[in-house]
């Protein structure tokens, strides 16, 4: 089990806006402790969570000393043995996600990306409510200070090209070690099991997230960094780079099964956690009127489950926008579960419902016994 050093308790400190995970393995010689401490102390709402991945060079002692200097803004999570960067990041994100922070992310310990980029990543989430994932990108451009070796640029280009095929997302750079996420159930589902792609876990994480974020292409944002500098001491070998090609091809081959698995996990979580109204059979204006009245007067449900509806009446999706507005007026963020049907999902998208509210396409969970009602329509489900 990981050991946590957080003011003497084994639980994350709450009320931070952003928690940044910093994976560390044998970083004693190059860890800039003052930079991290000073940045955390001068940026209220930010906390660093350092994850020691079984280091053998005294890194853990240095991290413990940092935590003593700034206990309210630095946490340390010690893993009992080296499991690789992917597992260190995953364990850190799991730990950070329990803190109640608005956003969690990860950042490389070598500071190839300046810490000021954390502020830039956070601004994207602040200003774009539809975005859940922000990837830092080392794109070359006028005015940007991006210093990379040619061979590293080539490896990055190949990885990004294959990642576009694997995820369906137009990435320019997937391997930059600066990323930020909304602390959402979608993220917690995506990190619920260990990654299998090694140092290409960023791509696997994006693939898992795309399964439960809808519409997924609008949920990702790639932010070009203003500055990035190659730091000596990379732990990725030529053998790792060679093997990465086969790993990426494996992700491409398994992309649909991975997305299906994590979509199923996300659906099960959603279906079991939110108070909801479930509809069956035919969904028409009579049901709309009933839902509208309940949303306006009670607002006691957050989710409208349409995944088992077989037939939709005319103009129901525009009407659902008004119902969702009423639910939101009660201080609850509504969500809609749509059937696994292309035509229905496209109709919902054309109406504007998908752009305004959280709509998820799910595979219907067939009830053990279908509710018997005179109209075979909307009725509350516990």
Residue 34 to residue 32: CA distance in whole angstroms = 6
Residue 344 to residue 299: CA distance in whole angstroms = 26
If asked whether residues 74 and 157 sit together in one domain, one would say yes
Across the range 189-197, mean pLDDT stands at 92
- Residue that is last in its domain, among 270, 286, 321: 270
Structure tokens at 350: 């054309």
223 pLDDT above the threshold of 70? yes
If asked whether residues 284 and 346 sit together in one domain, one would say yes
CA dihedral 171, 46, 197, 27 (to 10 degrees): 120
Residue 16 to residue 126: CA distance in whole angstroms = 15
For 89-127, the DSSP string reads HHHHHHHHHTTT-SEEEEE-TT-SS-TTHHHHHHHHHHH
Q: Is 110 left (phi over 0), alpha (psi -120 to 50) or beta?
A: alpha
If asked whether residues 257 and 352 sit together in one domain, one would say no
More confident residue, 80 or 368: 80
Structure tokens at 365: 């969970």
If asked whether residues 261 and 280 sit together in one domain, one would say no
79 pLDDT above the threshold of 90? yes
Residue 47 to residue 182: CA distance in whole angstroms = 15
212 pLDDT above the threshold of 50? yes
- Work out the percent of the chain whose per-residue pLDDT is above 70: 85
306 pLDDT above the threshold of 50? yes
Q: What is the pLDDT of residues 86-107, one digit of tens each?
A: 999 999 999 999 888 999 999 9
Assign residue 353 the CATH number of its domain. 3.30.750.24
If asked whether residues 136 and 254 sit together in one domain, one would say yes
The pLDDT assigned to 368 comes to: 38
Total count of domains within the chain: 2
Q: What is the pLDDT of residues 242-274, one digit of tens each?
A: 677 788 888 888 888 888 888 777 776 655 566
- Residue that is last in its domain, among 270, 299, 333: 270
Q: What is the pLDDT of residues 2-45, one digit of tens each?
A: 655 443 333 444 346 999 999 999 999 999 999 999 999 999 99
Lowest model confidence (mean pLDDT) among 139-143, 363-367, 372-376: 372-376
Lowest model confidence (mean pLDDT) among 172-181, 204-213, 230-239: 230-239
Residue 326 to residue 322: CA distance in whole angstroms = 6
If asked whether residues 162 and 209 sit together in one domain, one would say yes
For residue 272, give the H/E element and its range: helix 238-273
Structure tokens at 38: 């000073």
Instruction: Quote the mean pLDDT of the chain.
Output: 84
pLDDT band at 373 (very low <50, low <70, confident <90, very high): very low
If asked whether residues 292 and 188 sit together in one domain, one would say no
Residue 148 to residue 139: CA distance in whole angstroms = 10
CA R_g for the chain: 23
If asked whether residues 73 and 213 sit together in one domain, one would say yes
199 pLDDT above the threshold of 70? yes
Task: Give the domain range for residue 355.
Answer: 274-381
126 pLDDT above the threshold of 50? yes
If asked whether residues 63 and 201 sit together in one domain, one would say yes
Across the range 167-190, mean pLDDT stands at 90
The pLDDT assigned to 372 comes to: 44
If asked whether residues 292 and 244 sit together in one domain, one would say no
Assign residue 254 the CATH number of its domain. 3.90.550.10
More confident residue, 115 or 15: 115
If asked whether residues 287 and 250 sit together in one domain, one would say no
- Residue that is last in its domain, among 210, 241, 270: 270
Coil, strand or helix: which one is 234?
coil
User: From start to end of the chain, where are the E strands?
Assistant: 3-5, 18-24, 46-53, 74-79, 103-107, 133-137, 145-147, 178-182, 220-224, 227-229, 276-283, 303-312, 335-338, 358-361, 379-381
Across the range 269-290, mean pLDDT stands at 80
If asked whether residues 283 and 266 sit together in one domain, one would say no
More confident residue, 18 or 177: 18
Burial (CB count <10 Å: 0-12, 13-18, 19+), residue 139: middle
276 pLDDT above the threshold of 70? yes
The number of CA neighbours under 13 Å toward the Cβ of 107 is 26
């Amino acid at each position: 089990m990981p050991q946590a050093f957080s003011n003497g308790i084994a639980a994350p400190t709450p009320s931070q806006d952003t928690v940044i995970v910093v994976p560390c393995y044998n970083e004693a010689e190059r860890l800039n402790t003052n930079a991290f401490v000073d940045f955390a102390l001068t940026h209220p709402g930010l906390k660093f969570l350092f994850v020691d991945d079984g280091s053998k060079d005294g890194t853990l002692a240095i991290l413990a000393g940092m935590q003593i200097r700034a206990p309210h803004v630095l946490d340390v999570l010690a893993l009992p043995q080296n499991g690789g960067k992917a597992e260190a990041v995953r364990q850190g994100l799991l730990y950070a996600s329990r803190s109640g922070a608005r956003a969690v992310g990860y950042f490389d310990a070598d500071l190839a990306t300046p810490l000021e980029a954390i502020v830039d990543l956070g601004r994207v989430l602040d200003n774009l409510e539809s975005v859940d994932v922000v990837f830092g990108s080392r794109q070359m451009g006028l005015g940007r200070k991006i210093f990379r070796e040619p061979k590293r640029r080539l490896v990055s280009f190949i990885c990004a090209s294959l990642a576009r095929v694997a995820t369906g997302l137009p990435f320019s750079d997937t391997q930059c070690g600066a990323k930020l996420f909304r602390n959402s159930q979608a993220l917690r589902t995506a990190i619920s099991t260990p990654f299998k792609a090694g140092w290409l876990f960023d791509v696997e994480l994006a693939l898992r997230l795309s399964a439960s974020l809808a519409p997924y292409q609008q949920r990702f944002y790639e932010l070009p960094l203003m500055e990035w500098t190659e730091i000596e001491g990379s732990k990725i070998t030529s053998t790792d780079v060679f093997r990465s090609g086969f790993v990426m091809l494996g992700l491409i081959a398994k992309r649909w099964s991975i997305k299906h698995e994590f979509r199923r996990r996300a659906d099960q979580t959603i279906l079991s956690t939110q108070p909801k109204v479930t509809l069956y059979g035919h969904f028409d204006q009579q049901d709309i009127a009933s839902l509208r009245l309940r949303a306006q007067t009670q607002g006691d449900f957050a989710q409208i489950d349409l995944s088992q509806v077989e037939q939709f009446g005319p103009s129901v999706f525009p009407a659902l926008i008004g119902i969702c507005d009423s639910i939101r007026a009660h201080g609850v963020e509504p969500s809609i579960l749509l059937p696994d049907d292309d035509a229905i999902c496209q109709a919902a998208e054309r109406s504007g419902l998908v752009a305004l509210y959280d709509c998820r396409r799910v595979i219907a969970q067939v009830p053990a016994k279908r509710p018997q009602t005179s109209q075979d329509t909307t009725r509350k489900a516990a």
